[in-house]
Homo-oligomer: A and B are copies of this chain.
Amino acid sequence: MASELIAVDWGTTNFRAFRFEAGRVAERREAPRGIMQVPGGDFEGTFLEQLGDWLHAAPDAPVIFSGMIGSRQGWSEAPYVSCPADLSALAKLHRFETRSGRTVHIVAGLSAVGPTGVHDVVRGEETQVVGFADSAVVEPRLFCLPGTHAKWVTVSGETIQGFATAMTGEVFGVLSQHSILGRLMEGDQDDEDAFGRGLERSGEAGGLLHHLFGVRAEGLFGAVPVTGLRSYLSGILIGHEVRAMLNQAPEGPVTIVGAGAVSGLYARALAAAGKTAETVDGEAAAVRGLCTLAVRAGLIQGT
């Protein structure tokens, strides 16, 4: 087995690549070449353009991808694996050969069916969680991965038990850009006080669809400053998401997997709902998961 590995977290918006040597990241590259930003859908061209020198220098290094590159809109579709899914199931990678003759392994997406039979899907975030799967930890743990489509994933032992998606980030985006709520908003600074008021509002009667209109009305009356309306909306949405997701949450702290300001917002929302949180960096989590799966799939030696 190799000790070198080329791992790529290839999502909708970004392309992030890691070259491993002896189980550690020796080099990192990032480009705004998510699958929606690949000119002409030429995935192979983008792959060679970004990583040609790595591939040439390490002709035997296994290559592993995670993320939307394995979706129907990506390079080659990796079918969904259904939950509960353990490390062995997740390590059954989708394998294909590029036109230039390199073998690539793609991490499968996960599907889940909720208690009432409604489906859910994830592709990419499962890799950020799977590095934390650990046969020694039997108590279920809840991971929160903020984003356009925020994922809440429950893991126990080596198994991803299930997950649920909340469209929070995308709803925030379309309401800010395309609804009447955006018209009064000014600036893009975070406003901690307004965010806190949004969180508080999310716990009141009336429901989310009513609370949303309040973003306009509070702005019209100057009750929330126009420079705080973005944060107020954000607090309302994240507050509703967190409250709903904690309804059936396991004991213990929630692990937030993400980067920067948004992790802090979720930590605050969790605290307001009476839950402690710990935060791990999203990229480090992806690297850890890609490495875990590459080892379990037998592509590289464990460290």
Contacts and interface: CB of A to CB of B under 8 A. Distances in A.
Interface of A: 111, 114-121, 149-150, 164-168, 170-171, 174-175, 177-181, 201, 204-210, 212-214, 216-218, 220-221, 223, 237, 240-241, 243-245, 247-248
A213 B167 contact: yes
B118 A214 contact: yes
A210 B221 CA distance: 31
A213 B175 contact: no
16 contacts: A111-B217, A115-B205, A118-B217, A119-B223, A164-B206, A165-B210, A167-B209, A170-B180, A171-B171, A174-B179, A178-B178, A206-B245, A208-B240, A209-B244, A210-B241, A210-B245
Contacts of A212: 167, 171
| Residue of A168, A217, A221 with most partner-chain B CB within 10 A | A217
Contacts of A175: 171, 174
B167 A119 contact: no
A-B pairs with lowest CB-CB distance, top 5: A207-B244, A166-B209, A119-B217, A165-B213, A167-B212
A254 to B, nearest CB: 16
A146 to B, nearest CB: 12
A141 B109 CA distance: 50
| Residue of A166, A209, A223, A237 with most partner-chain B CB within 10 A | A209
A244 B217 CA distance: 19
